[in-house]
Amino acid sequence: MASIASLALLCSAIIAPTQAVNQTVRIPYENTYLLPSDFSGNVNQSFVNGTTTSNFRINSLLQKANGAPFIAYDESFLDVIGDEPQPRLIDNRTTLFAYEAGVWIPELNQVWFTSSTYQASTIPGYITVLDLLTNTLHELNGTSKPIINPNGAYYFDGKVWIATYPSSANETYNGGIISVDPRTLEVETVLNSYFGLPFNFPDDLVWTTQVNNRYLFFTDPFYGFLPYPDNFKTPQLPVGVWRWDPQEDLLLPVISRNEIQPNGVRVSPDMKSLYVTDSTATFVTQTPYNPPVGPAAENWLGPYIYKYDLNEEMLPVNRRVFGLVREGIADGIHVDDDGNVWTAESEGIVVRSPKGRVIGLFNAAYFQGEVAAASRIPIANFALAGDTLVIFGVSSLWTVKLNKTAVSANSVIVN
């Protein structure tokens, strides 16, 4: 395998200004739903890599897009990325260091992210900090108490709120939700049980507000078999989405396993809608607690992105499908100030309009690290940091300067 230095030189050559032209491939949106009748597609590959037709022009366009960093299906995506977006490789490693969270802290101009659950049994989970001013990285150390198995996270009210998952069966940590003051590094446990029962695998979280009230939603799927395939804890609670109401000091499940195997969660800028990504396809095929019922089980629920209304009590109601994932599942999710929904999928970072139209994507074939690609570990998350997109290629880290501010520093959804 090439050294990090040689890979960096290679990537620098790819993204040099003289090479920046034509890095964005535009595919007519019509080609996403209308192709020559003899087309063939592969659900285990991306649209541009797994689709062939009898039309030479379409085939050539798809082939060109397969290796491009940016694929545009709609003019509005060009408004997001600009005419000549330039990817910048920050780091490339042999470990799975850039995987989850994606928390932007505007006051410190930092992005925090967590290492991959896939290596947790051999390399304990940790948090890495990217300084956006200097593009340097350092591991988060010096916290008031250890942060064990950090996962998804959110920035709210001056603190980083982190979902943490249990350690293996022969250890005592049960996971839960913690908060970290990014200036003092004071760590507090917010919640870690429901009447003495531990959560399964707290994965992602988001704060919402209504007038002077605030509510914390978090997802609790079951993915204990990912970090500890040979030694994981038996689930004791149904998976689902929970809501903590600090005004009433009340913790309740608000979306059940009958509806979804939840993963990522975010709120719309107007605080009227809740988005939840569904990982049922992965859950059904991998968890040993499901009997072998055939491949059709993969299509039972996921892989969808669901949208819920938040009613006057700030409870999620009126579920409907917002998007269907083309390849793999949607994992991490973020929403920008314009209401566009960004998700990490096997195809890459996919951007949908507020109406659910796929307007473009940041191609995983370009941004996924070599080690991650060889291990078939897809991109799980990213960060929207002002006018910068930070892409976690799992074993690599990239930034892309956007054409506009995606999430402003004073946004209600700095996420």
The pLDDT tens digits of the residues spanning 132-145 come to 999 999 999 999 99
Tell me what the mean pLDDT of segment 238-259 comes to: 92
The pLDDT tens digits of the residues spanning 81-95 come to 999 999 999 999 999
What does the alpha-carbon distance between residue 348 and residue 329 come to, in Å, rounded to a whole number?
A: 11
| DSSP helix/strand/coil, 247 | coil
pLDDT exceeds cutoff 70 at 247: yes
| DSSP helix/strand/coil, 400 | strand
Per-residue pLDDT, 302: 61
pLDDT exceeds cutoff 70 at 17: no
Q: In the structure, what pLDDT confidence band is assigned to residue 3 with cuts at 50, 70 and 90?
A: very low
Check residue 294 and report its DSSP letter: -
What does the alpha-carbon distance between residue 391 and residue 400 come to, in Å, rounded to a whole number?
A: 8
The pLDDT tens digits of the residues spanning 182-233 come to 999 999 999 999 999 999 999 999 999 999 999 999 999 888 777 777 777 7
Per-residue pLDDT, 170: 57
Percent of the chain, pLDDT > 90? 77
Give the residue, 110 or 414, on which the prediction is more confident: 110
pLDDT exceeds cutoff 70 at 296: no
Per-residue pLDDT, 43: 85
The pLDDT tens digits of the residues spanning 373-394 come to 999 999 999 999 999 999 999 9
Per-residue pLDDT, 330: 93
pLDDT exceeds cutoff 70 at 281: no
Number of neighbouring beta carbons within 10 Å of residue 313: 9
Give the residue, 287 or 148, on which the prediction is more confident: 148
Q: In the structure, what pLDDT confidence band is assigned to residue 34 with cuts at 50, 70 and 90?
A: very high
Identify whether the C-beta of residue 337 lies closer than 8 Å to the C-beta of residue 408.
Answer: yes
pLDDT exceeds cutoff 70 at 237: yes
Locate tokens 């059709």: which residue? 296
pLDDT exceeds cutoff 50 at 298: no
pLDDT exceeds cutoff 70 at 4: no
pLDDT exceeds cutoff 80 at 7: no
Tell me what the mean pLDDT of segment 10-22 comes to: 39
Number of neighbouring beta carbons within 10 Å of residue 8: 15
Q: In the structure, what pLDDT confidence band is assigned to residue 9 with cuts at 50, 70 and 90?
A: very low
pLDDT exceeds cutoff 50 at 236: yes
* Average pLDDT over all residues of the chain: 89
Sign of CA dihedral 311, 313, 319, 324: positive
The pLDDT tens digits of the residues spanning 149-178 come to 999 999 999 999 999 998 875 578 899 999
Domains of the chain: 85-401 (2.120.10.30)
The pLDDT tens digits of the residues spanning 322-364 come to 999 999 889 999 999 999 999 999 999 999 999 999 999 999 9
Per-residue pLDDT, 245: 98
Give the Cα-Cα-Cα angle 201, 167, 285 (nearest 5 degrees): 45
Check residue 31 and report its DSSP letter: G
Per-residue pLDDT, 297: 36
Per-residue pLDDT, 172: 83
Number of neighbouring beta carbons within 10 Å of residue 29: 15
In angstroms, how far apart are the furthest CA atoms of the chain?
62
Nearest partner of 216 among 246, 189, 195, 188, judged by Cα: 246
